[in-house]
Each structure stands twice: as structure tokens, then as C-alpha cells.
Structure 1
């Protein structure tokens, strides 16, 4: 049920978000464990990155470690921005841009589902478990303790990075609804997120690359407002093509 302004019902949306969060938690818990496999996959990822001539995660971390305040700021960003920023963004979209909100909520759901499938199929130990400094534990703040199979913070769910994926969704959503020429500055958010998760040794470059591919697929599957050439729109167009052709032949 929608409001007069076209806004989805608040209770319905809260229920949908609660279901999404529950699915997220269940998926994270399901992906826990598999320690040996996670470390084996980590070795494969690092070898692939070297084959692709990507910068090493350690080189980015070394730049960060030149400044302790900057390191602490990066840790705080990793620990405290991910969920609050996404929630604030969804609230803003719900009240100010309800049509785009529905689109974003669907994209976020598809992306998160794809990410959780990746976490289950490809458990991955993060770089801080392969010799890089765990900046959160050393300098604080940190969101991780010892690996715990009952924790929402699954430490072997590095591939793909939903930190980066959700940040990209926020940036794309804000760019889509804003008219200001400064709107492109929102790309600084996922860029900063990428640098933070790599420098703090919580993710690999490939984690961000894979989630970007997943987001592109999600955007292709979910029609954006006013986008006539989305995949669902193309299917509808093909479905009604004979009818349109018959009408033109009269």
C-alpha cells in the first residue's frame, strides 16, 4: 500500500528491511567456519592479484601507517560508517524520493543476496589473517574479536565486500536524485571505502572488483525509474511486440 505521494507504506518497508537484515544475518552465520578453505582461497586471490599486476594491499597499508591519527580515523570509518550511512541514505530516499527508494531497495536486496551467496561459496580469510597488520586491534577501534561462529561479523566473508557494494549503491542513488553539479562528489564515498577496507587489511582489491560486477548485474536486472531499456522492460516489449505490429498493420 502506497501513500498519496507514491511513498511505500512505512510498516511494510520496515518489515521488508527486517527480513533483509534477518537474511543478511543468516547468510553471514551460514558462511562462518571453513577456516582451512578460507585461507586456501586467500592464497588463490593473492596469486591472481599478482598475475593481474594489482597493487599489493601492504603497499596501501604502509602509506596509512605513516600517520597514527589517520589510521585510527580509517578504523573508525570501517567500524562506524557502513550501517549508519546506509540506513540514513534509505531514510532520505524513502521520504524525499520514494520512487527511487523502491528501485534502490530492490538493487540493494539483489546485491546483498549475491554477496551472501559469494560469502557461502567462497569463504575468504582477509589480508589481516595473512600477515598484514590488523590496524583495528593495534590502534582501535575494532569490530572484530577472536573468530566466533555465532557472530554476525563473519571474519571469513571477505569476498565480495558489501562495504564497498553498499557504498556504491549510496553513491549511485544520490547521483540519480540530485541535480547539483557537485553530485559526482558522492563517488568519493565508495572510493574512500575501498581505500579504507584495503589499508586496514580487511579486504583485497578483488573483493571490491567482484562486488562492482555484482552491482552492475543488479542494476541490469532491476529497472531504474525512467529507464526504458532495462531487462524487464525489454521482456515486456518483446511480449507485446506482436500486438503492436498488428496494430500498425491495420
Structure 2
């Protein structure tokens, strides 16, 4: 095989899989947009569900999110948290997928891709079935809508056409951050693994102090990741017995 033919083969071996992945992730994006359109007029139900979640968290004696938010007295820190919430979530996830596709073994990339697609698909179904208003919509409970007060907001401009304000349960911000931390520490480790863990920790703090998510939103996101791992276990690890029998 000539050198030119070898280059063509290598390009083809990358382009076709990459195109397939783009189409697959594009379908996930369309599913998310569909979920937004379905719940766009669900404000009454979303607020009622939020009151139920708030009451349940008080029943569990969880710390009040408004009190946690009140610990951050600096407007600069709150604005920085807003920037992190608005600007980091999607770019980091896209960078994670590109890193996996181009720099990790294909089996590791497919594992990560299957986790994120399955998590997102189930999350969108829950967004539709259980629309939930975020804490920032309840100033009567002491919450401050930091995005409206300090900016920037995820629900203004171009991003507002994509974002679903009633998709609080589960939190994909938390779910994707936990997934990235798990996959990167499992498959790469080192400084990049520590960076992924830091991203997950910062995300957990940010979604709370910006009043964009309840504690239970993150708990459910973690549960979805656990369920996804049962279906798509770590490379080289067998599925749980009941899934092996089912397939």
C-alpha cells in the first residue's frame, strides 16, 4: 500500500466513526430539546413539585440550601459561580468526549459514551414526568436568583432557547460532572483525574450556591449514574448477574 493510500485509510477510519458519533449525540440533543418543549408550560406543576421536594428535604433534616447560599456574601463569588454554571458545563462535557474519542482506547470511549447517553435519556424522561422548579424561583424561602441579580443568566439570549428551567430533577450538571470524574479517574488518573474530581466538587457547590438545584436533584443524578454502570459496567468487568441472564 502506498503512503498516500495509507493516509486515506487512516482518515477514513477516523472520519466515519466520528460522523457516526456526531449523529448519535445529535439525536440525544434533539431528545433534550423535545423535553424542553414538552415542559415549557409546566410552571404550575413544576412549582407544586418543588414545594413537595422542599418539604421532603426538611423531613429528612437536610441543611437548608438557602442557608448554604447565604454563606457566600461576596457578589463577585456569586457571579463567578454563575459563570461556571453557564459557561463550563457543556464545553467541559464536549471536551471530555473529544478527549475520549481521539486520545483514549476506543473501548473506553464507547463505555463513557454509553453512560452519558443512557443517563441523559433517562434524565430527559424524568424531566418530562416530573418537571421541577429550581430553588431560585422561591424568594419566600430565602433564596436569591443569583443569575438575575448578578448575571450572567443561562436563560437569556441564545442559551435561553435551549435551557429548560424546569429540568431541575435530576441535575445533569451534577450527573455529567460525576460521570466525567468517574471515567477520567478510572481510565487516565494522574493530574487530569484530579482535575475531573475538582470539576465535580466545584459543580456540586455551584449548583447549590446559585440556587439552581435542590440536594435531591444531585442525589437522583448520582443514582442514575449508578444504574447506568449496572447496564454498562467498567471495561473488563462483567455485568451484574440479573442483567447477564436478561441478555
TM-score of Structure 1 vs Structure 2, range by shorter chain: 0.7 to 0.9
Q: Deviations over 1:166-196 (max 9, x none)?
A: 1111111111111438735532222211111
The reply to whether residue 154 of structure 1 matches residue 164 of structure 2 is yes
Question: Which residue of structure 2 lines up, in the alignment, with residue 63 of structure 1?
Answer: 71
The residue number in structure 2 matching 1:219 is: 229
Q: Are the aligned partners of 1:126 and 1:155 in contact in 2 as well (CA < 8 Å)?
A: yes
Taking structure 1 as the reference length, the TM-score comes to 0.85
SS at 1:37 equivalent:
helix
| 1:102 corresponds to which of 107, 110, 114 | 110
Greater CA drift, 166-175 or 7-16: 7-16
User: How far has the Cα of 1:36 moved from its partner?
Assistant: 1.2
Q: Structure 1 residues 125-134 or 184-193, which shifts more?
A: 184-193
Equivalent-residue separation in structure 1 for 2:25 and 2:46 (angstroms): 30
Runs (5+) with no aligned partner, structure 2: 1-8
Task: After superposing the two structures, state which structure 1 stretch, 30-39 or 68-77, moved more.
Answer: 30-39
Q: 1:113 to 1:231 in 2, by over 3 A?
A: farther
**Equivalent residue, structure 1, for 2:5:** none
Q: Which residue of 2 aligns with 1:134?
A: 145
Q: Compute the displacement of 1:119 (Å).
A: 0.5
Q: Is the 8 A contact 1:41 1:123 kept in 2?
A: yes
TM-score (norm 2): 0.86
Query: Aligned runs of 1:64-103 on 2, under 5 Å?
Result: 64=72, 66-97=73-104, 98-103=106-111
Which residue of structure 2 lines up, in the alignment, with residue 208 of structure 1? 218
> What runs of 5+ residues in structure 1 fail to find an aligned partner?
240-250
Equivalent residue for 1:170, pick from 170, 176, 180: 180
Query: Does residue 228 of structure 1 match 2:223?
Result: no
Distance in 2 (CA, whole Å) between partners of 1:123 and 1:234 is 34
1:245 alignment partner in structure 2: none
Using the TM superposition, give the Cα deviation of residue 232 of structure 1 relative to its aligned residue in structure 2, in angstroms: 8.3
Asked if structure 2 preserves the Cα contact closer than 8 Å seen for 1:222 and 1:230, the reply is no
- Cα distance between partner residues in 1 of 2:144 and 2:125: 28
Structure 1 counterpart of 2:205: 195
CA contact (8 A) 1:29 1:151 kept: no
Counterpart-to-counterpart distance in 1, 2:98 and 2:191: 23
User: SS at 1:9's partner residue?
Assistant: helix
CA RMSD of aligned residues (A): 2.5
Q: 1:3 to 1:219 in 2, by over 3 A?
A: farther
How far has the Cα of 1:108 moved from its partner? Answer: 0.5
